[in-house]
Amino acid sequence: MDITIGIQNVARELSIEVDEEPAELTRRAAEAIRAGEPLTLEDAKGQTVVVPAGALGYLIVGTQAGRRVGFGL
């Protein structure tokens, strides 16, 4: 699933693909904000992304990513 993360005071968005259910992802984000702890995500390539809860501007949870075929898609 594709997600887009907006970070406060940063002009660019962070877009990553994760293997996590939308409900679980939104629950984890809300819990991180409530607790003031970083939101830690692992993308589909195995890389870890850590966003401080205080810097989190917004989170857009997209649909399940389809299989991409070809160049430049």
Assigned domain for 67 exists: no
Torsion angles phi and psi, residue 55, rounded to 5: -100, -5
Domain ranges, residue 47 = 13-60
Assigned domain for 72 exists: no
- Residue-by-residue pLDDT tens, the chain, 73 positions: 889 999 999 999 999 999 888 899 999 999 999 999 999 999 988 999 999 988 999 999 886 555 566 676 5
CB of 5 closer than 8 Å to CB of 53: no
Q: What's the domain count of the chain?
A: 1
pLDDT at 69: 67
The CA-based dihedral angle spanning residues 70, 71, 72, 73, taken in that order and rounded to the nearest 10 degrees: 10
pLDDT at 36: 93
The CA-based dihedral angle spanning residues 61, 63, 66, 71, taken in that order and rounded to the nearest 10 degrees: -50
Query: pLDDT tens-digit profile of 34-48?
Result: 999 999 999 988 999
